[in-house]
Structure 1
Amino acid sequence: MSVFKMNSKLTDEQQTAICSQLGNVKLNLLYKASIHGFTGEAFHKHCDKKSPTVSVGYNKSGRVFGGYTSQPFSQFGGFVKDDEAFVFSFSGERLNKYSVNNSSYAVRMTKNSGPNFGDTLILVHKDEQKVYSNQSSFTGYLYTKYYTFTAEKMHGNDLDLTDCEVYQVEECLQFENPWRTVTWTSEEKEKLMERIKSYKPSISSVSEARVLLVGQVGAGKSSFFNSFKSIFKGRVSGQAINGTCSTSVTSQFRTFIVKPEHEEKPLPLILCDIMGLEAKEGEGFHVDDITNIVSGHTPDTYQFSPSGPLHSEAQGFCKNPELKDKIHCVTYVVDASTISIMPQNMEDKLKAIRKKVNLHRIPQLVLLTKIDEACPLVKKDVTNVYKSKYIKKLAASRFGVPLSFLVPVKNYSEEQELDMNIDILLLRAVDQILHLVNDFFDEHRD
């Protein structure tokens, strides 16, 4: 008996983008219409009673689109409720996600068709090599769209399928051995705290490391500072304002120090916060401001303007900055739970900033925040972070920096008490930042 080997048409990047919406999972191919047949019968034979699933259509125009449901397929003919369902399309490797509008009509179980997402998107429609897409503008029950998308965004108005695939979503096994070794003990936490407190720059003219935090609105820049400060205060505390709104809470260039509880001397570290990056052109932090900041020209409390960068004649502009005034390491704060759906404009802004920072030969690090929201394995226990295949794959797939320069952390958000394991991740991140600062100083010795 011959066995067909089914090869997925999804690229690794596309699979990663889909899985990023679902957690620490992998996709197992169940049904491939070009092998099993473009019929409802073939689809149901291989996919009924299987869940969760991702269904993918491919058309002659090269578009890739489909949907996810947590509910098992069947042939009973009615609608099935699914709060988690969504449909999607790809623009290259970038995922466009459209959540269900009315979860009671998320999926319909039709006998003579393939995957049916609320009678709004149907693959292998009526036993044909076709897509059905409800683009009617009429109102009324018969024309209700339970997912909102445009034909151009979804499939480019090309309804001829070249293939249809259905994947079962399976929980990914964790690594048997962590991809980084961490000692999760109170002794390790104390050792890291002491190393940071006793840090001394390797160049005599500088007494403190200056580190710039850069990130999209809501990524967790201010939360990172507050979380790090909390460790040395011995309680969850806040200083830099953070929030969850869609526009930047930070509007000024601010420098923050951390003074350990019951100690007069602050840590030899200054964390610099800027206005959050926004995807829309003309909003949020202006990319050209980065040169003034890293060069030490920008004064504390400088009010950012999206319309243009700081000018050399502006009040407070530091015309002759010394090495101690400059930025010694740039740290990008990135939300791990939304990397795969990061807007192209945002990615372009980050690349533009990295390019400008590279010209100054300043070391750069990426902090992956909200790792517990990105991976259920980590949500269950933060010490699983370096056992998570998903976090490692996610970290390696979207940035042009070595994996050793990507550091996952969890900020304090809902917690009211300190957690030793969260503290260790945060302290390890700052410890690595300080190592990079010394690398910078090594290039600036007299």
Structure 2
Amino acid sequence: MASILQREEMDELLKWIGGRRKFRLLYKITRDGCSASTFHSKCDNKGMTLTVLYNNNDTVYGGFTSQNWTSAGGAYVSDPKAFLFQLKFNGKWSPKQFSIKPEKHVHAIHCNSGYGPTFGAGHDLFAFSGTLNASNGIFALNGSCNLGNTYDMKGTDFNSFANGNLQVKDLEVYQIDECDMNDPLDVPWRKTPEWTTRVMEELKEEIENYRPLEQLKFRQTKIMLIGQIGAGKSSFFNTVNSIFRGYVTSQACSGTADHSLTTQFRAYQVRNGPSGKPLNFRLCDSRGLEEGQGIETQEMCYLLDGHVPDKYVFNPSVPLTPDTPGFIKAPKLKDQIHCVAFVIDASTVDVMSEKILEKIRKLQTPMNQRGIPQVVLLTKIDKVCEPLQHDVGLTYFVPAIQEYVDRVAMMIGLPRSHVIPVKNYESERDLDTNVNILTLLAMQQILHFADDFLYNYLDDLDPELLDKMNTTD
């Protein structure tokens, strides 16, 4: 049986407990039986634990101790870190922490071989004694709840804490462990669909069927990839392309070098493998970011506005101007960039120079002025997290990746939800379902953001002009 405690509830509890922790379900009365002896056999000497009660009014409450439960004959255990809590009341989110009274910490928990989890002298929360059976799915616990003896309840009484009864649908005890940053969590830190071949095919089909807004009368959304040399811009296109071709491709030039391997502006087509039909978006690649050279702010403005033709070759000694051959002087919406993806190598986050960060911030200015949404593709996550070298399906379960996402979001000045971890095909010869899902989830979010930009454009458009666009081929 799975645990009942939800991710948001764990997150709230972790704020009170502190630190990076992992929850491990030790005891569950609907699974193990409501028995004091079973509670002690499963929960004694396990270090810090969390007891959670779920009553039949959908109220969720309980207690935390940082000390061991034991089968002592009626001994109190001191714990200044212990607290009682409530997470929900009558099904509504109602998080409250009730700390132990400083002078009462010596009575934090009561250990007795005949008792279940018991908090406080008196007792503030005494779950049950002996052995109990459920009736119609409900356990009528035979303990007591004499609040306020040991814990500061801040005016909360038995009725507002536990609906005035100890009838519960379940009771769980979790061990709270120190969490290694590379040790996968029990629940993901970011929710995604369950990773299966069926989900991969559904995501692939959704992206194959993607169309820009019909009212705007153009065929392909344009996504701009921007990043340092070797971060994986071209490799990301190759990875997306591989998924829809059905085998690992290397159409875009990728690898490592002193200077950018990408010298042209390329608006790459992604094509369906069997038919060769292009999908309704393009991934645009350009020069990598470098401290002394690379793409500059004015060039970025021209790219964003659609002035730069496909296959234009950048020349560091000859800047792009309106007089450059092929310069598109009157670009249309279809020529413009509709979303920008910054590509950042996770393994270089700690050593990224301030000059590169400053360059990114300068490039963001014209994007923000134009209302162009931005995301970050956090690449090479397998280089910074050993478990992902074997299974990228763990990406959203590993705290280390969440830590990188949080740091990059602060560095770039974007919401954390805009930072998307990905793993490009580099050394692989065969496609991998989990790599595909990670990439397709990234593309799904990018296309949603591009549509947000187009919806804003549509909202700002003159109604008469929109009518004209919809009656003109």
Which residue is 2:210 aligned to? 199
Instruction: Show CA shifts across 1:70-90 (max 9, x none).
Output: xxxxxxxxxxxxxxxxxxxxx
Q: Tell me by how many angstroms 1:309 deviates.
A: 3.7
> Which SS does the other structure have where 1:244 is aligned?
coil
**Equivalences for residues 146-165 of structure 1 within 5 A:** none
* SS of 1:271 mapped into structure 2: strand
Q: 1:222 & 1:244 partners in 2: Cα distance? A: 11
Distance 1:372 1:170 in 2: 16
Amino acid at match of 1:205: K
In structure 1, the partner of 2:294 is 284
C-alpha deviations, 1:175-233, integer Å up to 9, x for none? 33101223211111111111111111114322111010000000000000001100111
Determine the structure 1 residue equivalent to 2:274: 262
The counterpart of 2:311, out of the listed 288, 301, 322, is 301
Give deviations 1:321-341, integer Å, cap 9, x for gaps: 110010000111100111110
Which segments of 5 or more consecutive residues in structure 1 lack a partner in the other structure? Answer: 1-23, 26-168
Residues in 2 aligned to 1:194 and 1:170: alpha-carbon distance in whole angstroms: 37
Secondary structure, in 3 states, of the residue corresponding to 2:274? coil
Change (3 A) 1:368 1:408: same
CA distance in 1, matches of 2:234, 2:303: 18
- 1:89-136 deviation digits (Å, cap 9, x = unpaired): xxxxxxxxxxxxxxxxxxxxxxxxxxxxxxxxxxxxxxxxxxxxxxxx
Please name the residue that 2:174 is paired with: none
Q: 1:243 aligns with which of 245, 252, 255?
A: 255
Cα distance in 1 for residues equivalent to 2:319 and 2:370: 18
> Aligned partners of 2:406, 2:319: CA distance in 1, in Å?
32
Residue 442 of structure 2 corresponds to: 429
Comparing 172-181 with 203-212, greater Cα deviation is found at 172-181
Whether the aligned pair in 2 keeps the contact of 1:216 and 1:276 (CA below 8 Å) is yes
In 1, Cα distance between equivalents of 2:205 and 2:310: 28
CA distance in 1, matches of 2:296, 2:317: 7
Unaligned runs of 5+ in 2: 1-19, 22-178, 462-473
| Residue 395 (structure 2) aligns with | 385
Residues 333-385 of structure 1 show CA distances to partners (whole Å, capped at 9, x for unaligned) of 10011111001111111111111211111011100000000111322321111
C-alpha distance 170-322 of structure 1, shift in aligned 2 (>3 A)? closer
Contact 1:213 1:271 in 2 (8 A): yes
Tell me by how many angstroms 1:394 deviates.
1.2
Q: In structure 2, do the counterparts of structure 1 residues 196 and 171 end up closer, same or farther at CA, with 3 Å as the change threshold?
A: closer
**Does the Cα contact within 8 Å between 2:288 and 2:294 map onto a contact in 1?**
yes
SS at match of 2:243: helix
Deviation for aligned residue 1:308:
5.9
Residue 184 of structure 1 corresponds to: 195
Task: Note if contact 2:181-2:399 (Cα within 8 Å) is conserved in structure 1.
Answer: no
User: Identity of aligned pairs, percent?
Assistant: 41
AA of the residue aligned to 1:184: W
Structure-2 separation of matches of 1:422 and 1:309: 38
Which residue is equivalent to 1:211? 223
Q: Tell me how far apart the structure 1 counterparts of residues 419 and 249 of structure 2 sit (CA, whole Å).
A: 26
* CA–CA separation in structure 1 for the residues paired with 2:324 and 2:183: 56
Q: How far off its partner does 1:240 sit? A: 0.6
| Among candidates 266, 278, 286, match of residue 274 of structure 1 | 286
- Distance apart, 1:391 and its partner CA: 1.0
Aligned match of 1:321? 331
C-alpha distance in 1 between matches for 2:371 and 2:336:
12
Could you say which residue in structure 2 is the equivalent of 1:341?
Answer: 351
Whether the 8 Å CA contact 1:252–1:301 is kept in 2: the answer is yes
| CA distance in structure 1 between the aligned counterparts of 2:299 and 2:336, rounded to whole angstroms | 14
Q: Distance in 1 between matches of 2:377 and 2:248?
A: 20
Structure 1, residues 263-310: CA drift from partner, whole Å, max 9, x if none? 14210011110011112x2x2223321000000011111121334641
Q: 1:400 aligns with which of 410, 413, 423?
A: 413
Corresponding residue to 2:424 among 411, 414, 421 = 411
Query: d(CA) in 2 for partners of 1:307 and 1:361?
Result: 31
CA contact (8 A) 1:285 1:305 kept: no
> Residues of 1 paired with 2:278 and 2:182: CA distance?
44
- Quick one: distance in 1 between partners of 2:313 and 2:246? 32
Task: Indicate the SS of the match to 1:268.
Answer: strand
**Mapped contact 2:181–2:398 kept (Cα < 8 A):** no
* 8 Å contact kept, 1:288–1:309: no
Equivalent-residue separation in structure 1 for 2:451 and 2:356 (angstroms):
30
Native 8 Å contact 1:286 1:307 kept in 2: no
Distance in 1 (CA, whole Å) between partners of 2:265 and 2:412 is 26
Normalising to structure 2: TM-score of the pair?
0.57
| Map of 1:420 onto structure 2 | 433
**For 1:391-422, what per-residue CA distance to the aligned partner results, in whole angstroms no more than 9, with x for missing partners?**
11111113311111111000000000000000
Q: Which residue of 2 aligns with 1:64?
A: none
SS in 2 for 1:206: coil
Give 1 or 2 for the bigger CA radius of gyration.
2
Q: In the aligned structure 2, how far is the partner of 1:193 from the partner of 1:170?
A: 34
CA distance in 2, matches of 1:200, 1:255: 17
Give the corresponding residue for 2:242: 230
Residues 440, 171 of structure 1: CA spacing in aligned structure 2 closer, same or farther, 3 A cutoff? closer
Deviation at 1:316, TM superposition (A): 0.8
Distance 1:329 1:312 in 2: 23
Matches within 5 A, 1:7-18: none
Bigger relative contact order, structure 1 or 2 (CA pairs below 8 A, ≥6 apart): 1
Give the count of matched residue pairs.
280
Q: Determine whether 1:310 maps to 2:320.
A: yes
Matched residue type, 2:268: F
Amino acid at match of 2:359: K
Shift of 1:171: 5.6
How far apart are the structure 1 equivalents of 2:385 and 2:423? 12
